[in-house]
Each structure stands twice: as C-alpha cells, then as structure tokens.
Amino acid sequence: MSRRLESGENLTVGMDSTGLKVYGDGEWKVRKHFTLLRFIGASCFMDTLQQCRLIVLIDLVSKNAILLVNFANQMRRDQNMDTFDALAKFDYARPILMTSLAMVSGMLPISLHR
C-alpha cells in the first residue's frame, strides 16, 4: 500500500514474515528488489554445519510460534478471551522457554564439535 505524504514523498507500508514495515522512496526500492540481500548473500559462505544450525534455529522459532498460537487458541476457547488478551497472558512463557532450552541443549554438542 503506497501513500503520498504532504511533503511529496511516497510512503510504502508492507507486511512480511517479520512484521509491518514502513519505507520511504529509495529504501522501498532496495528492499523490494532484494538488492541488499543479494549483495550480502553473494559474499557469504555457509558450510554444512552452519546450514544445519540454521535449520535448527528455524525449527526452534516455528515451534515457539506453534506453542504461542496453541496457547492463545486454548485461552480463547476455554475462557472466552479475545485474541489480544489471550496473547497477553504470561503463562505461555514457561513451555516456550522449556522447549527452547531443550533445543539449545540438544544442539550444544553439534555446536561445540570441530
């Protein structure tokens, strides 16, 4: 979605996997065409172990998101809460932290291997 400000600058609002983004003219063009990402990716080398670590990190983040969504749905269903209040409850922190700790302790031998 693009809007023109009173100053004449175009303001672009976008949504991606990391959240809501607001860009000005030049910044949006760089982000939209992944110029910066291609530049960084071309000079980066990842060996097999780093790729395994990246996959495990993605898995950890997705498991945390699944736990959060399941908890919010349970609160909405059992206690008739709206979505914002269900997500604001702090009770979901314990299972997320326990899952993260288990994943990190499982990845520790792989990380320390040389």
Give the Cα separation of 39 and 73 in Å (integer).
41
Do both 54 and 12 map to the same domain?
no
Buried b (16+ CB within 10 A) or exposed e, 12-31: beeeeeeeeeebeeeebeeb
Tokens at 112, concatenated: 């320390």
Do both 26 and 76 map to the same domain?
no
Express each pLDDT in 28-48 by its tens digit.
Answer: 555 555 554 555 555 556 677
Do both 88 and 53 map to the same domain?
yes
Do both 32 and 69 map to the same domain?
no
Structural domain boundaries enclosing 101:
48-112
Do both 77 and 106 map to the same domain?
yes
pTM of the full structure: 0.44
Do both 16 and 34 map to the same domain?
yes
- Banded model confidence at residue 90, pLDDT cuts 50, 70, 90: low
- The count of structural domains within the chain is 2
Do both 38 and 94 map to the same domain?
no
Do both 7 and 34 map to the same domain?
yes
Q: Which distant-in-sequence residues (6+ apart) come within 8 Å of 13 by Cβ?
A: 1, 2, 3, 20, 21, 22, 23
Do both 68 and 102 map to the same domain?
yes
